[in-house]
A and B are shown apart, each in its own frame.
Chain A
Amino acid sequence: MIFRVYVNFKDGILDPEAEAIKQTIANMGLNSVKNLVKGKFFDIEVEDKKNYLSEIEKISKDLLANPIIENFKIVKK
């Protein structure tokens, strides 16, 4: 079973890289883009044990995302 953990900056935290990408899109002459958010994801394959979900949550909270600046979301693939 594979879970995908998405991690991205919380609203209100400036992400200059996303800003730069947005600017580049504008420079490419494409003008329909209103907003752009950048993030990353981790695919985690787990064995079907009873506590896997809480483990993935712990991994996300304690390691993959920094709760001060980042949100995470777990999705089953």
Chain B
Amino acid sequence: MKEKKISIVIFPGSNCDRDLFVALEKCLGTKPEFIWHNCSHVKSTDMILIPGGFSFGDYLRAGTIATKSPAIKEVIRFSKRGVPIIGICNGFQILTECGLLEGALIKNSNQLFKCEKVNLKVINNKTIFTKNYKSSEIISLPIAHSQGNYFIESDNLKKIEDNDQIIFKYSSDFGDVTEKYNPNGSVNNIAGISNKKKNVIGLMPHPERAIENFHNGIDGIKFFKNLKDLI
């Protein structure tokens, strides 16, 4: 069987591309390929990841300018074919800005960049990305962002809730999803969502920064190992 291909899209200003590469290589044993943002034709791929960072300096709004790069058209094209797409941090912002995911990510409620470890509650463990998690499993991952405050209008919130598109929520060690454990002001503590078809996922926390014994937790390993069946 032909070896499956994982792709990482790099924009000018992306800065977690290397970390993501290392994590995928370590957890899945395959080397991803990099796609430069102005690539207008991707021949084939079996999974696309959009890394964190500050694409185009996050100027205008985080992720906006990146959506005008040719590679995003390709991301959209593959997403329609059902290819799994994962956006982490800035990648999540790009996916909302280009319309593959609903809602928007605005400035943290206290206006400050925030780098810390958070707990996430797995809300939907039935997706292709999360099926190895237990229902309501608590995992812990680092966040590092200033625009991670997830916003969505209440009507649409209801829709994505009803359709089980909310994947992760910020929580306490024991799974309490309350304002106290909301690091950035996100609606209903939302940390990660998927599209309707559940082949596109975006999350603010960084699983690629929780894969080594010396990291502050290793729950990122499981996140990536979950992807094994997809490739």
Using a CB–CB cutoff of 8 Å, the interface residues on chain A facing chain B are 13-14, 16-17, 20, 63-64, 66, 68-69
User: Given the known A-B contacts A66-B97, A68-B151, A68-B153, are A16 and B111 also in contact in the complex, defined by CB atoms under 8 Å?
Assistant: yes
Classify the secondary structure of B's interface with A.
loop
- B12-71 residues at the A interface, CB under 8 angstroms: 60-61, 64-65, 68
In the complex, residue of chain A having the shortest beta-carbon distance to the beta carbon of B152: A68
Give the size category of B's interface with A: 10 to 19
In the complex, 6 of the A-B residue pairs with CB atoms within 8 angstroms, ordered by the A residue number, are A16-B110, A17-B107, A63-B60, A66-B61, A68-B151, A69-B104
A interface footprint on B88-108 (CB within 8 Å = 1, 0 otherwise) = 000000001100000110110
Chain A: minimal CB distance from B67 (Å): 9
**Interface contact B151-A69, CB-CB below 8 Å:** yes
Please indicate the chain A residues that have their CB under 8 angstroms from the CB of B109 in the complex. Answer: 14, 16
The answer for the CA separation of A14 and B60 in the assembled complex, in Å, is 18
**Interface contact A66-B111, CB-CB below 8 Å:** no
The number of residue pairs between A and B whose CB atoms lie closer than 8 Å in the complex comes to: 29
The answer for the CA separation of A57 and B106 in the assembled complex, in Å, is 23
**Interface contact B60-A17, CB-CB below 8 Å:** no
Chain A: minimal CB distance from B97 (Å): 7
The answer for the CA separation of A64 and B64 in the assembled complex, in Å, is 9
**Interface contact A17-B61, CB-CB below 8 Å:** no
**Interface contact A16-B60, CB-CB below 8 Å:** no
User: Given the known A-B contacts A16-B110, A17-B111, are A68 and B60 also in contact in the complex, defined by CB atoms under 8 Å?
Assistant: no
The answer for the CA separation of A68 and B156 in the assembled complex, in Å, is 11
Please indicate the chain B residues that have their CB under 8 angstroms from the CB of A63 in the complex. Answer: 60, 64-65, 68
Return the contact of A64 from the options B60, B103, B185 (Cβ within 8 A): B60
Chain A: minimal CB distance from B187 (Å): 11
In the complex, residue of chain B having the shortest beta-carbon distance to the beta carbon of A67: B104
Please indicate the chain B residues that have their CB under 8 angstroms from the CB of A13 in the complex. Answer: 106, 151
The answer for the CA separation of A14 and B65 in the assembled complex, in Å, is 23
In the complex, residue of chain A having the shortest beta-carbon distance to the beta carbon of B102: A68
Please indicate the chain B residues that have their CB under 8 angstroms from the CB of A64 in the complex. Answer: 60
Please indicate the chain A residues that have their CB under 8 angstroms from the CB of B106 in the complex. Answer: 13, 69
Please indicate the chain B residues that have their CB under 8 angstroms from the CB of A17 in the complex. Answer: 107, 111
Chain B: minimal CB distance from A68 (Å): 4
In the complex, residue of chain B having the shortest beta-carbon distance to the beta carbon of A12: B153
The answer for the CA separation of A76 and B185 in the assembled complex, in Å, is 37
User: Given the known A-B contacts A66-B97, A68-B151, A69-B151, are A16 and B107 also in contact in the complex, defined by CB atoms under 8 Å?
Assistant: yes
